[in-house]
Structure 1
Amino acid sequence: MTRTAGLARPPIAAAVIVRDGAVLLVRRRVAEGSLVWQFPAGEVEDGESPGEAAVREAREETGLTVVGWRVLGERVHPVTGRSMVYVACGVVQGEASVVDTEELADLAWLAHDQLAEYVPHGFYEPVQQHLDALLPG
């Protein structure tokens, strides 16, 4: 995606991190509309791919070192109106914690049967299919 300075906001890269049968969600200090729990995510910086941005955001927000495997899909988010890129990630090392205390209030590793409790509106279909394939239940 090519951007002209000042005309378009950069896309948001979301790290969809699965480890040991659970997916990592974070709770932001300031909710974005009805979004309370979401994936570690942030704007793609100039010169950075969405995969690189997802890896960086995961590290900055949660302290995890992850590797981006593949882009699951892209869309304009129906709540925020932002261009989103969802990146499947695997943990290389570390234990997740709230590292970015200015942005995050909490985090949780969730099993498949807990997802609807934290994200009642459901996930973007390619992300849901990825989670259905990797999470037991």
Structure 2
Amino acid sequence: MNEQSTEAKPGISAAIVVHDGRVLMVRRAVKEGELMWQFPAGAIEAGETAEQAAVRETLEETALTVEAIKFLGERIHPKTGRMMSYTAARMLEGVARVADEEELDAIAWVTHGEISEYVPYGLFEPVQEYLDAVLTAAAA
């Protein structure tokens, strides 16, 4: 009997961090299929909410302290098959940098118009709607 398949992998939580009219994206050191650029994200640990995981992962990966401001939704990711949760977050302090060199090799602050260059296959609809609203408002 294969013991691995009896336990589900933990869900992944992503932080959608918007600051100065741009959204924070990270590039994984090891590509996950087509996924290269994505939002700071990682596994939800035991006893942790999706929002708490998004805040923790952002700090671990980018050295930014953020706070969760709105849960945007969850889905089974079409590229990885993993349960994904998305949380909008506000930057509190720090300067974004690659803080976890084993996981990341670059970060970028991306404008609304550049998102499709970084994520050509499109974003989860509630995330896209949130970014459309906050990034277009910031550009106005």
- Tell whether the structures are fold-level matches, with TM greater than 0.5: yes
Q: How far has the Cα of 1:70 moved from its partner?
A: 1.6
For the pair shown, the structure with the greater C-alpha radius of gyration is 2
Q: How many matched pairs?
A: 132
- What is aligned with 1:3? none
Q: Which residue identity lines up with residue 81 of structure 1 in the other structure?
A: G
What TM-score, normalized to structure 1?
Answer: 0.94
- Residue 7 of structure 1: how far off its partner (Å): 1.4
Q: CA RMSD for the aligned pairs?
A: 0.9
Hey, what's the Cα distance between the residues in 2 that align with 1:68 and 1:11? 17
Q: What is the alpha-carbon distance in structure 1 between the residues aligned to residue 83 and residue 116 of structure 2?
A: 23
For 2:101 and 2:126, how far apart are their aligned partners in 1? 30
By percentage of residues, which structure has more helix?
Answer: 2
Q: Which runs of 5+ in 1 are unaligned?
A: 1-5
> For 1:1-137, what aligned pairs fall within 5 Å after superposition?
7-136=7-136
Q: Report the Cα distance in structure 1 between the residues aligned to 2:75 and 2:35, rounded to whole angstroms.
A: 16
TM-score (norm 2): 0.92
Q: Give the distance between the partners of 1:40 and 1:104, measured in 2 at CA.
A: 9
Amino acid at match of 1:92: L
Q: After TM superposition, where is structure 1 displaced by more than 6 Å over at least 4 residues in a row?
A: none
Distance across 2 between alignment mates of 1:69 and 1:113: 23
